[in-house]
Amino acid sequence: MTTFRLAHLSDLHLTPPARPFQWADVTSKRLLSRIAWRRKRHRHLEPVLNAITASIRERAPDHVAITGDLINFATPEEFEAARQWLTGLGPPSDITVSPGNHDALVRRDAPDAFAPWAPWLSDANEEAFPHLRRRGPVAIINLSSARPTALHLAQGSLGSAQIERVEAMLRSTGEQGFFRIVLAHHPVASGVVSNRKALTDMASLQAVLARAGAELVLHGHAHEAVLNRVAGPLGAIPVLGVPSASTPAGLAGEQAARWNEIAVSRDTKGFRVQVATHGVTRDLSVIKMGEYALI
């Protein structure tokens, strides 16, 4: 029985590189976000992310899924720094990135369609989401809920065109017998985040999942380890989220960095899924925190 192993991490919030003063930033959402970053930057530390990624390299999964918020202010400098970071993590064919709200904080100066990260978004270098990547028994369906929003909002949306295409992808890959994993930054299950942070067209995506089905949905955004389920045509679909991959252990009110190792195997009875959770400790060790059967 062959096993396909997927690493899932999210919300890296890479330390932003220096950026020359821009008057345009003063009149955009970037100013408020930079003020918030100064107050909260102790929540996202590079040594913590380095420990998490070292743990992933040691485990050598078949693929890595990153569900958004690699950066903070969507500046050209950040996109380039994140591109270099992704290059150091591994080949683009082995890593899939689903962009987050911070990756699309504002439109001004930000690259169109997350262009610097194109090799990590899809196999065909297409601009329009969703993207489909087939890896062994797994079909990775990569959505983008990342949209610029007004001040004090961190909502996401997919749009009717993307939702329509996702239904076609789910149906075709399901008919072909793939284990379908949907990636999105914003939670797909209700009640995980407040309305100001929610996926605005969640109900439409849930309706598609109920009709077309999927085997697993992965997300970030909440900075929490959460397991929910949404309706599918043959039963409930697991929806799994992880904390930020750069948050140190010991912060009050914050879950320490974790990544999930998701093992997908198949036997005569169908697919089996085992999840192992790996979390960072105060001394920057990464330990196995638990393991459970998901399907």
Q: Which pair of tokens denotes residue 86?
A: 């992704």
Q: What are phi and psi of 195, to 5 degrees?
A: -60, -35
Sign of the alpha-carbon torsion through 245, 248, 250, 252: negative
Overall average pLDDT of the 281-289 stretch: 97
What's this model's pTM, rounded to 2 decimal places?
0.94
Higher pLDDT, 150 or 187: 187
pLDDT averaged over every residue in the chain: 93
- In Å, how far are 105, 142, 194, 215, 249 from 175, measured between CA atoms? 37, 18, 36, 13, 43
User: Residue 193 above 90 pLDDT?
Assistant: yes
- The amino acid that residue 198 corresponds to is A
pLDDT tens, position by position, 2-56 = 899 999 999 999 999 865 555 455 556 775 666 677 777 789 999 999 999 999 9
Sorted by where each starts, the structural domains of the chain and their CATH numbers stand as 3-293 (3.60.21.10)
